[in-house]
Amino acid sequence: MKKILITGGAGFIGYHLSKRLAAEGHDLAIADNFFRSRHDNDFAALLANPNVKLIEADLTKPESWDTIGAGYDEVYHLVGINGTKYFYEIPHEVLRIGVSTTMNALEWFRSTNNKPDAKILYTSSNEAYASGFDLGTVPIPTPEQVPLVIADTYNPRWSYGGQKLIGELFFIHYAKAYNFRMSIVRPHNFSGPRAGYEHVIPEIVGRIAAQTEPFPIFGADDTRSFCYIDDAAEAIQRVMESKTTDGGTYHIGTSDETVIEDLIHTIFDLMQWHPKQIETKNSPAGSVKRRLADVSKIKKDTGWEAKTTLREGLQKTIDWYRKNPKPKK
C-alpha cells in the first residue's frame, strides 16, 4: 500500500478521490482548512477509516507544511476556491490561495518529501483556456494543446482560470528544474453527490425540489459535457499511477455534449415534476457557450473513458441532494 496526500481532500473532487483510495487500503492523509468544504456526515464516515487521517492546516502558509510530514509516494494537489460566485466576489483570494498553495506544495515536495520516485499531480481546470473561446482560439472538442489565455485581466471571472494557468506553469517548470515526476489534469464539468450547492445541477435540483414557478432556465442553448464524479476520480488516479503520463497534461470529461435545456428536462423527468411556466434567461456573465473536451489522449495513454451515463449520474446526484438539501442560513 502507498502513502498518499490529498490537499483539499474534503472538497468535492477530493472527497470522492479520498473515498476511492481509502477503500483500496492506502495510508491516506487529507489536508484541508474547510474554507469551502464541509465536515459533514459523509466526511466523518470517511475519517472513521483507520487508514485515513485529517490534517487541518492553512496551506497558504509555508510553515503549515511542517505538519504534513514527508515520505509520500503520491501527492494530489487539489486546493483551490471553485464556484463562479467566488470568482466575482473574492478574486484576490482565489488568486492568493491558488498560487501560494501551489508554490508551497512544490517547494515542500522537491525539498522535504524526500521519497524516491514520488509523484505529484495538479488539478487544473478548463477555465485555464475558457476565455480563448472569445478570441476564437479554442476548437470543439477541445484538445490539451490549445493556447491558455486570459482575455481580460480586469474581469474577475478569470481569477480562477488565471491562477490555474500559473499553476500549470509552476508544475511544468519545477518538475524540469528539479527532475521529479508530475502530471496535470484538467477537469471538465464533474458532477455528482456532495458537489456543494452553487453549481448548475445542484441549483436545478434545489429549484425543482422547491417547485419554483415560473422556472428559470439560464443559457438554455449552452452546452456542457457532464462527467460523473466516480468516473472522474478513477481517471485522476489512473493519470497519477501511470508512468506514461509523467510530464503530461490530460483532459478529463465525457464525449457527450449536452444542451442545458435538455439537461433540465431530464431532471424534471427524473424528479417527476414539471413547471407550468418556464422563463428562459441569458447565461451568467462570462459563461462559455459550448464546452466539450477531447479525451482521446487520456484514453490512449491510460485506457480510461467515462462509463456512467448522464441519466445514471443524475439519478445518483438527485438521490443524494434529496437526502441532503441545502442548509438554511
Print burial letters for 234-258: b (CB count within 10 Å at least 16), e (below 16): bbbbbbbebeebeebbbbbbbeeeb
User: Distance (Å, rounded) from C-alpha 183 to C-alpha 255?
Assistant: 22
Average pLDDT over residues 62-67: 96
What CA–CA distance (Å, rounded) separates 38 from 32? Answer: 10
* Average pLDDT of the residues in 25-30: 98
Give the pLDDT score at 262.
Answer: 98
Q: What is the mean pLDDT of residues 293-317?
A: 98
Q: Of 15-24, 135-144, 254-263, give the lowest mean pLDDT range.
A: 135-144
Mean pLDDT of 115-124: 97
> Which band of pLDDT confidence, cut at 50, 70 and 90, is reported for residue 134?
confident
Residue for grid cell 499553476: 167
Q: Where are the domains of the chain?
A: 3-191+227-254+293-307
DSSP 143: P
pLDDT value for 328: 81
Instruction: Give the pLDDT confidence score for residue 103 in this predicted structure.
Output: 98
pLDDT at 45 over 80: yes
Specify the pLDDT at position 36. Answer: 77
Quick one: which of 20, 19, 21 has its CA closest to 4? 21
Residue 83 pLDDT grade (very low, low, confident, very high; cuts 50, 70, 90): confident
197: amino acid identity, one letter: Y
Cα separation, 166 vs 168, in Å, equals 5
Q: What share of the chain is helix, strand, coil (3-state, %, to 5)?
A: 40, 15, 40
What is the per-residue pLDDT across 86-97, written as a single tens digit (0 to 9) for each? 999 999 999 999
pLDDT higher than threshold 80 for residue 284: no
Average pLDDT, the chain: 96
Mean pLDDT of 126-152: 92
pLDDT of 285 above 80: no
> What does the pLDDT read at residue 3?
98
Top CATH class of 3-191+227-254+293-307 equals alpha beta
- Residue 235 CA to residue 240 CA, distance in Å, equals 9
DSSP 8-state code for residue 293 = B
Confidence of residue 84 (pLDDT cuts 50, 70, 90): confident
Per-residue pLDDT, 174: 98
- Smallest Cα–Cα separation from 131: which of 142, 118, 117? 142
Residue 114 banded pLDDT, cuts 50, 70, 90: confident
